[in-house]
């Protein structure tokens, strides 16, 4: 019997080390920084395979972040992520998951390295401008959460 994740992967069948999933979060879109962040995505050698502007419902945000359910910041996080439009991204590059996390910087912008997106655009540990997958398996699941196969170019 397959677990939920294995079913998702076998259904979509695109777990790959050269793809990751990113979000330009509502704080960055509200601040008018989405274009600047997309520019940094491209200038750092990522190819955009999918991109769209969405406004998540609270339920969609709760489903996306279900791994964090029960944590103290879960309500704040899902309220924030459904508070306005965000840009979802399917990104391609060699070793895409670690490459995108390196460009994003640490979760807490106070600890983010110079030149990272969170250093430049995040205002707090909660409202931290961007999301990135933490493994190839989760990248496949997260891409499938927001994109159909036909939407990946």
Q: Any idea which residues carry the catalytic annotation?
A: 131
List binders of ligand ADP among 75-134 (CB under 6 A).
76-77, 107, 125-126, 128, 131, 134
How far apart, in whole angstroms, are the C-alpha atoms of residue 97 and residue 80?
Answer: 24
How far apart, in whole angstroms, are the C-alpha atoms of residue 121 and residue 123?
Answer: 7
Phi (first) and psi of residue 128, to 5 degrees: -115, 30
Our finding on whether 73 is near ligand ADP (CB under 6 A) is yes
Give Cα separations from 7 to 1, 131, 144 (angstroms).
9, 24, 12
Q: Where do contacts with Mg ion occur on this chain (CB under 5 A)?
A: 134
What angle, 0 to 180 degrees and rounded to 10, lies between the N-to-C axes of helices 96-104 and 136-146?
A: 80
Least distance to ligand ADP, CB of residue 1, Å: 28
Our finding on whether 151 is near ligand ADP (CB under 6 A) is no
* Residue placing its CB nearer to ligand ADP in the complex, 11 or 73: 73
Dihedral angle computed from the Cα positions of residues 53, 58, 61 and 66, in that order, rounded to the nearest 10 degrees: -170
Our finding on whether 15 is near ligand ADP (CB under 6 A) is no
Least distance to ligand ADP, CB of residue 133, Å: 8
Give the footprint of ligand ADP on this chain (CB under 6 A): 73, 76-77, 107, 125-126, 128, 131, 134
């Amino acid at each position: 019997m397959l677990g939920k994740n294995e079913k998702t992967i076998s259904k979509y069948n695109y777990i790959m080390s050269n793809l990751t999933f990113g979000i330009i979060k509502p704080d960055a879109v509200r601040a008018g920084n989405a274009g600047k962040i997309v520019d940094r995505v491209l200038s750092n050698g990522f190819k955009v395979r999918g991109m769209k502007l969405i406004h998540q419902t609270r339920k969609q945000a709760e489903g996306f972040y279900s791994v964090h359910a029960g944590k103290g910041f879960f309500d704040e996080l899902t309220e924030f992520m459904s508070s306005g439009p965000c840009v979802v991204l399917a990104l391609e590059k060699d070793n895409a998951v670690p490459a995108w996390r390196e460009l994003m910087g640490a979760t807490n912008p106070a600890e983010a390295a110079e030149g990272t997106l969170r250093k430049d655009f995040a205002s707090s540990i909660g409202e931290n401008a961007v999301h990135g997958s933490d493994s190839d398996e989760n990248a496949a699941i997260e891409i499938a959460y927001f994109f159909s196969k036909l939407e990946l170019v």
